[in-house]
Structure 1
Amino acid sequence: MMPVPSAGKFRIDVAQGLYPIVYVRGFTPTAGSREETFFDAYYGYSETSVEKRNALPPSYQEPIVFEGQLIRFLKEYSYVDAANSGLALALSNPGGNVQNPTRSMWISRFYDKDVVSGKVRNIIEHAEDLRELICERIPRELKLADVDLGPDDEDYKVIIIAHSMGGLVSRCLIQNILASKKEKADRWIHRLVTIGTPHGGIELSAVPDFLEDLVISKGNALNGAIFKRESMVKYLKLPSPAADLQKLFGTYPEGRCLCIIGSDHESYSVVRKATGSHSDGLVKQSNAYIKGAYWANVHRAHSGRKGIVNSFETYENIRRFLFGDTRVRIWLENVQLSTAPPKDNTREFYDIEFSLSVRGTGVYLHQRKQNPCENAFRSDRNDFPIQKLHLHTGFLDTRLRPSGDNFSVFLLTFKISQHQVKQGFLFETQFPERVIYSESMDIRINLAEKSKSVVEFRWLSETQDIDDPGSWQKTLLTDGVFRFPFREAKTISGQICLQPSVWNDEAANVSGEAALID
């Protein structure tokens, strides 16, 4: 074995958060699927996606290729593939290319022992494999690769990106194993990203409760009992049987967590028939996040060709959260109705829909829509006026601006629809949806000079030429908030508010929920 150098020539780029990345895969329910995983060198994280998109004539459609997030990190951030064979092979470099081992990518192959032994171990044992990888193997190999981890290895941490059950394995490491050793998880983990993880368990809403309990919990069909409350309380080491499954209870800063939530249940497998709607086909949207964490909703299925892991939307959210420099809160303020009140025996509610996309790409970083996502903000008429409605907290990386352009440009869309239901003696009458407000606005943010941040906007319905620089309107910064009045409408009024702030380690130590409080 090579001697461990006392002072290496490589240092982890702590300032930009370019720590080693560890991928943790999801659940494989059968022996066959575990073997398939075993024979995949990247445990499924090398899957790509190819889709059709609109194009100009004569083709009218063309393929759009996304290589998958693992490959993109290798391409765009110069990460080194240390999966499986470790850094020794990754840095062998017969061609003489210089690579930085600090930006290394790893996979927790916790199913390997299960396949080799023919015995499925429990989730705590899988989490112990993850601990050994993060706390022992990676720092040892980094030192052998001439990396200086700083005094007492204080510069060393990893980024965990986990899909589905992998997020629970990661939480078991944080809340059970490390907590039992009296170790702070943020000593080892810089950021935690979960993708389609059932933090609140898995509910088969289309199956009667007694049958769900019999099949999944008592019968442990497909080893699915690990997603039931009784099991989760034990391996997450929660303080009581009734404790909230979606809380970390002080074991790790929630503001360092990003949860990607899927909403395309139609594109998943036959399991969606049991899980029902309001889900990614397997995990309910309401169960797919850690309370206090940041989150984004992408319209993707739990896995498969249209899966959440190999989606462009997921990657764009993750890289801005990991390496971005700006956090932006978006909310509505003082929303007031001007519509006539309903007649007697008529119940009235409103769906408020919102989406955020990267301008010119068609990539939705976040969507709250009733169709097709089934997650609009729903408010009863009596809830108005709405003083404040948080829409999203997103992240920007000023380095992603086009060369020579100081602006980051995004498209925000809004739709507010009225729904009325008349109560009858035996039946209800559902009136057709009435859209009372629908608009899209371009937002461009100049963050080149932090002390002189500028936000400009334009309503697309009022813009004749999107290439016209004169179509942009400036908005003033008041008390750290940019405010835009709704485009004039006779049915509703209000303000759209944006609040950019610095995104760094200090900000990440504050819970995402706390960050919403003025």
Structure 2
Amino acid sequence: MGDAADGRLPVIYVRGFAGGPSGISSAVDDPFYGFNEGSVQVRVDDTDRPTFHQFESPLLRLMIDHGYQLLVQGNQRGYLDQRDDGTIDPATIWVHRFYDEFAPTLTKDPNPFSIERAAQSLFDLVRLVCRKTGAPRVFLVAHSMGGLVVRAMIQKTIPDATGAGPAAATDFVDRVFTYATPHGGIEFSMGFGAIEKLRDLTGVAGADMFGPERMYRYLTPEASMQAEVPADWDATRMPDDGFPPDRIFCLVGTNSSDYSVALGLSSRAVGARSDGLVQLENAYVQDAPRALVHRSHSGRFGIVNSEEGYQNLQRFLFGDVEVRAQLTDVHLPGTEQDDTVWQLEAALSIRGLPVVLHEQSTAHLCPIQIERPRTADAAATPVPLVRTFLSTRATRPTVQGGEREVTTMRHVLRLRLLSLRKQGGLLSFLDHLEQTADWSDVLVVDIEFPQDGTPPRSWAVWSSALGTAIRDWVPDAATDEQLEDVDTATGSWLARIRLPVAARELLGRDAAITVAVSGRTPA
């Protein structure tokens, strides 16, 4: 039986928008509100034949990988009510079936859907699960609008109910993971705002909940509610003294082409820089960790039923180490007047996984923009590349038929630097070679966490310097130089890795990748 001490807190799933009465009725017919759906991907083997990779679903994988139980037995709420306090295993999964009371097929007099009511019933479920399992807090995992239900509970419902201030939700919720949530609302790239105004005015199927006025109402406690939405209010920013953003992970989808219908409109109405429904800049909370994956909002290539989503999920929920990588000390060639646009592509892979955990590329319309300092003597602003989480308790793989145990965790960061010219404020392709990088390389970083509790050890190498397959490189503690920890603080570790010579010619002689590793408070 699990307990809170091993990091396995109860998981509560919160689904997304179902639309009007018919959509709600369809949603409630699924006992797990869609979180039980998996997917199948095709890869090509050495004979050019398709081979299949099956993702079982986030629910099933939590059960397989982490020993969670799914306790329904006919009625999940009834099961909870009939058990004594503290007798249910904390390592359990629950589904917030908030749509049940709004379904015309189930309820005699259904009320119009209310996100405030869904947030209140979520708080009721959170308290019930904590009481019955004895767990101090829960993990919340939400898709799309479900993330707004969670935020409404965190930012308004709990502070209003407890009177304990904006951060009161930290007593009930440990971590929040959102898939494709419109944290900044839903906007459209066509119509010059007319579509949003019509949606917010009519509130068709409750879709006005994605507009700023309704969002302000259900995300703001009564104590600070104003008659009008403040001009500087931003839905993507959490209150400064509220639930900490670093306890919220936002998974952002970048595939707009595989999501065809949203709110009765084609994904073309939202624009290409989206998952087909939520634009990239609206899909995360400011200052929260996030990852971008090439998945659509839902459907066959949806973000929830993806291996990429699950791998980010389990690392955020159970990881006890945080890793951040940044590009630092950049000094671009030329001047502001040469109108050159510099963009960086970055992709993170971890040894043993069949998917990329984070990817920003020009092909997916989300490269990292490298900005010049405002003045010649200004210090270069670090460019964030990736933020991920690891578990030092995770089982390490073996290689060569089990002859050698792998003691390090290997990250591979693929980087590509591209440039474009501008003339008269417009991109010019006269001297351009599409998808051709000015520089590209792969940084291989191995991190080892000794079992005796001593500080981590790490090694790094650029693929261009290897001369062999990356999988064949094994750092030798006796001969390979370890990365030097340049952070004097305890509980954290920081290394600086210089870029290859070819990259320094473009990005500056002092340009480097900094890798920061820090401990993370267990759940």
- State if a TM-score over 0.5 links the two structures: yes
Distance 2:345 2:60 in 1: 33
Select which of 350, 359, 362 maps to 1:358: 350
Structure 1 residues 286 and 371, CA, compared in 2 at 3 Å: closer, same or farther?
Answer: same
Displacement of 1:382 after TM fit? 6.6
1:275 is matched with: 270
Displacement of 1:228 after TM fit? 0.6
The answer (yes or no) to whether the contact 1:348–1:380 under 8 Å persists in 2 is no
1:53 is matched with: 43
Select which of 487, 492, 510 maps to 2:500: 487
Distance 1:186 1:323 in 2: 17
- Amino acid paired to 2:157: I
- Amino acid paired to 1:429: S
Q: Deviations over 1:426-455 (max 9, x none)?
A: x86334156221111221111134424221
SS at 1:213 equivalent? helix
324-333 or 176-185, which deviates more: 176-185
Displacement of 1:374 after TM fit? 2.2
Q: Deviations over 1:190-221 (max 9, x none)?
A: 1111111111111012232124312x111223
74-83 or 234-243, which deviates more: 234-243
Displacement of 1:251 after TM fit? 2.9
448-457 or 120-129, which deviates more: 448-457
TM-score normalised to structure 1 length: 0.84
**Greater share of residues in strand:** 1
The answer (yes or no) to whether the contact 1:331–1:497 under 8 Å persists in 2 is yes
**Residue 444 (str. 1) matches residue 446 (str. 2):** yes
Q: Deviations over 1:140-168 (max 9, x none)?
A: 543xxxxxx3xxxxx42111001111111
Distance 1:478 1:254 in 2: 27
Query: 1:69-84 to 2 correspondence within 5 Å?
Result: 69-83=58-72
SS at 1:176 equivalent? helix
Distance 1:429 1:255 in 2: 40
1:107 is matched with: 95
Displacement of 1:405 after TM fit? 2.1
TM superposition outliers: structure 1 runs of 4+ over 6 Å = 87-90, 381-385
Structure 1 residues 428 and 102, CA, compared in 2 at 3 Å: closer, same or farther?
Answer: closer
SS at 1:435 equivalent? coil
**Residue 176 (str. 1) matches residue 184 (str. 2):** no
Distance 2:50 2:466 in 1: 26
Query: 1:3-152 to 2 correspondence within 5 Å?
Result: 12-14=3-5, 16-57=6-47, 59-83=48-72, 85-86=75-76, 101-115=89-103, 116-117=106-107, 118-136=110-128, 138-142=129-133, 149=134
Query: 1:267-346 to 2 correspondence within 5 Å?
Result: 267-270=258-261, 271-337=266-332, 339=333, 346=338
Displacement of 1:302 after TM fit? 0.7
- Amino acid paired to 2:190: A
The answer (yes or no) to whether the contact 2:115–2:149 under 8 Å persists in 1 is yes
1:421 is matched with: 422
Displacement of 1:259 after TM fit? 1.1
Select which of 455, 459, 464 maps to 2:458: 455
Displacement of 1:361 after TM fit? 3.0
Distance 1:237 1:470 in 2: 52
SS at 2:339 equivalent? strand
Structure 1 residues 123 and 218, CA, compared in 2 at 3 Å: closer, same or farther?
Answer: same
Query: 1:463-502 to 2 correspondence within 5 Å?
Result: 463-466=466-469, 467-469=472-474, 474-479=482-487, 480-489=493-502, 490-493=505-508, 494-502=511-519
Structure 1 residues 464 and 44, CA, compared in 2 at 3 Å: closer, same or farther?
Answer: same
Select which of 205, 208, 229 maps to 2:212: 229
Distance 2:56 2:177 in 1: 19
SS at 2:40 equivalent? strand
Displacement of 1:473 after TM fit? 5.6
The answer (yes or no) to whether the contact 1:349–1:380 under 8 Å persists in 2 is no
The answer (yes or no) to whether the contact 1:486–1:495 under 8 Å persists in 2 is yes
Distance 2:454 2:381 in 1: 29
The answer (yes or no) to whether the contact 2:4–2:136 under 8 Å persists in 1 is no
Distance 1:461 1:481 in 2: 23
The answer (yes or no) to whether the contact 2:188–2:195 under 8 Å persists in 1 is no
Distance 1:379 1:292 in 2: 19
Distance 1:291 1:274 in 2: 25
| Structure 1 residues without counterparts, runs of 5 or longer | 1-9, 93-98, 143-148, 150-154, 509-518
TM-score normalised to structure 2 length: 0.83
Same amino acid, percent of matched pairs: 28
Select which of 180, 192, 201 maps to 2:185: 201
Distance 1:473 1:377 in 2: 32
2:429 is matched with: 430
The answer (yes or no) to whether the contact 1:412–1:441 under 8 Å persists in 2 is yes
SS at 1:203 equivalent? coil
Structure 1 residues 387 and 167, CA, compared in 2 at 3 Å: closer, same or farther?
Answer: closer
Distance 1:470 1:162 in 2: 40
- Amino acid paired to 2:100: D
1:157 is matched with: 137
SS at 2:346 equivalent? strand
Displacement of 1:41 after TM fit? 0.7
The answer (yes or no) to whether the contact 2:2–2:89 under 8 Å persists in 1 is no
1:166 is matched with: 146
The answer (yes or no) to whether the contact 1:445–1:455 under 8 Å persists in 2 is yes
- Amino acid paired to 2:145: M
Displacement of 1:139 after TM fit? 3.7
SS at 2:437 equivalent? strand
The answer (yes or no) to whether the contact 1:217–1:228 under 8 Å persists in 2 is yes
Displacement of 1:42 after TM fit? 0.5
Query: 1:333-412 to 2 correspondence within 5 Å?
Result: 333-337=328-332, 339=333, 346-380=338-372, 386-400=380-394, 401-402=396-397, 404-412=405-413
The answer (yes or no) to whether the contact 1:278–1:373 under 8 Å persists in 2 is yes
Structure 1 residues 66 and 124, CA, compared in 2 at 3 Å: closer, same or farther?
Answer: same
Distance 1:436 1:503 in 2: 37
- Amino acid paired to 1:392: V
- Amino acid paired to 1:228: G
Distance 2:408 2:428 in 1: 49
Distance 1:189 1:380 in 2: 40
Displacement of 1:79 after TM fit? 0.6
